[in-house]
Amino acid sequence: MTFFDDDRPAKKLAHEIGSDLSMLSVGDLDARIDLLREEIARLETDKQKKQAGRMAADNFFKK
């Protein structure tokens, strides 16, 4: 028996790759699609920053 579990905020929606989708509603699927699109955008932004940093370093050391 735990006394503190009721005071904790609810977990944010998460998606596990390959998880069973059969019990999800259309609304749940839409929410997961939105979540994954936001994560893809975040990953692409970070990738672009890293590529720019890599290009800057390559250009600096080519001199």
pTM for the predicted model, two decimal places: 0.67
Instruction: Using CB atoms within 10 Å of the CB of residue 20, give its burial: 0 to 12 exposed, 13 to 18 middle, 19+ buried.
Output: exposed
Dist. CA 50–CA 58, nearest whole Å: 12
Arithmetic mean of pLDDT over the chain? 87
In the chain, what are the domain boundaries?
A: 25-63
Q: Give 4-21 pLDDT, tens digit per residue.
A: 666 777 666 788 899 999
pLDDT for 3 beyond 70: no
